[in-house]
Amino acid sequence: MVALFARRLVQAILILVGVAAITFVLLYALPADPAVLLAGRNATPTTVANIRHQLGLDRPLIEQFWTYLSNLAQGDLGRSFNQKTAVAPLIAARLPATLTLMAAGIAIEVAIGLTLGVIAALRRNGVVDRMVMTLSFVGVSTPQFLVALLLLYVFAATLGWFPMSGYGSPAHLVLPAFTLGILGAGWYARIVRSAMIDVLGQDYVRTARAKGLSARRVVLRHALPNALLPVIAMIGIDIGQFMGGTVVVEAVFGWPGIGQLAWQAIQQVDIPIIMGVTLVSALAIVLGNLAADLLAPLIDPRIRAA
C-alpha cells in the first residue's frame, strides 16, 4: 500500500506540472493582451509597455514559467491582474461554497444512480430496465441550464418551496445540488447496471444463491460491493469536474463558487486566476483518483492480492 501511494504521489506531481505547463503556454498564446485590457483603449504604447513590465509579461516565456513554478512550490498562485490581490485567498474564499455543492451533488447522483442501476440490473431486459435506461439517457443528454431553469420554475417560482438563488442555508443548496445530481445520475445508473449484470453472473454469486441466502443478502452483501469499483473511479473524476466545471449551475442559482470566479476571470483575461482555478481543479481530480486507487484494494481483496 505504501509503495502504491508513493507511485501515485509521484505521478500526481508530474501530472500537475504537466497541466501547469500546458495551461501556461495556451493562455499566453492567446491574442488578447492583458496589459492592453488593463490600460484601456486610449492608453499610449508607453503605458502599455510599463504595465507589461510590471506584470512581467515582457520576459521570455520560459523565464515566466519558471518563476511561476517556483512561486507555486511555495503555495503562491500569483496575483490577479484585475483585482490586484493574491489569487490563493480569492480561490480559498470560494472553496467552501464549491465543496459544499460538490459534496451534495455527488451524494445525490450516486444515491439516484446506484438505486436505479441496481433495479435495472435485477430487471434486465424488462420494462423497468428499459425505462431506467431511457431516463438515464435523457438525464445525461439534457443541458444543465434547462434542468436548472425547470427546477427553478417548478419548485421556486411556482411552489415556493425553495429560494430562487443565493447561498448560506440548506434550502439554497437543494436545487443546485439536485441539478447536478439529476444530470450525473444517468451515468452512474448505466455503469452500475453494467457492473451488476457482470457480477450477478459470477460463480460466487451463484454459490451464494445455492446456499439458500435471500435475494436481498446476495445483492447487498455479495454482488453490490464488487460492482462499486467503477463508481468509486467516477466519483474521483466528478470531484475535479465539480470543482471548476459547474459554471452554468453557479450562474443560474447565484452560487459563489470557483466556477463563477473562473468565468469572470475568462471574460477579463485574468490569467493568474484562470491558472489558479485550473490547477485547483486538476489537483482535485488527482486527489480524487488517488483516493479511488487507495480505496479499491480495501473494497476488492483481489486487487490487494494482485
What are the tens digits of pLDDT across the range 153-169?
A: 889 888 888 888 878 78
Q: Is the pLDDT of residue 112 over 80?
A: yes
pLDDT range class, residue 185, cuts 50, 70, 90 = confident
**Which CA distances in Å does 270 have to 16, 34, 53, 117, 299?**
20, 7, 16, 43, 43
- pLDDT at position 11: 78
Q: How would you classify residue 33: left for phi > 0, otherwise alpha for psi between -120 and 50, otherwise beta?
A: beta
- pLDDT at position 4: 65
Q: Is the pLDDT of residue 51 over 80?
A: no
User: Three-state SS across the chain?
Assistant: CHHHHHHHHHHHHHHHHHHHHHHHHHHHCCCCCHHHHHHCCCCCHHHHHHHHHHHCCCCCHHHHHHHHHHHHHCCCCCECCCCCCEHHHHHHHHHHHHHHHHHHHHHHHHHHHHHHHHHHHHCCCCHHHHHHHHHHHHHHHCCHHHHHHHHHHHHHHHCCCCCCCCCCCHHHHHHHHHHHHHHHHHHHHHHHHHHHHHHHCCHHHHHHHHCCCCHHHHHHHHHHHHHCHHHHHHHHHHHHHHHHCCHHHHHHHCCCCHHHHHHHHHHHCCHHHHHHHHHHHHHHHHHHHHHHHHHHHHHCHHHHHC
Q: Is the pLDDT of residue 130 over 80?
A: yes
Q: For residues 107 and 182, what is the distance between their CA atoms, to the nearest angstrom? A: 11
Closest alpha carbon to 247 in 129, 119, 133, 98:
98
- pLDDT at position 192: 85
Q: Is the pLDDT of residue 225 over 60?
A: yes
pLDDT range class, residue 33, cuts 50, 70, 90 = low
What are the tens digits of pLDDT across the range 247-301?
A: 778 888 888 888 888 888 887 777 788 888 888 888 887 877 777 777 766 666 5
Looking at every residue in the chain, the average pLDDT score rounds to: 79
Structural domains present in the chain: 96-260+299-305 (1.10.3720.10)
- pLDDT at position 136: 82
The answer to whether the pTM exceeds 0.85 is no
- pLDDT higher for 191 or 84? 191
Percent of the chain with pLDDT over 70: 88
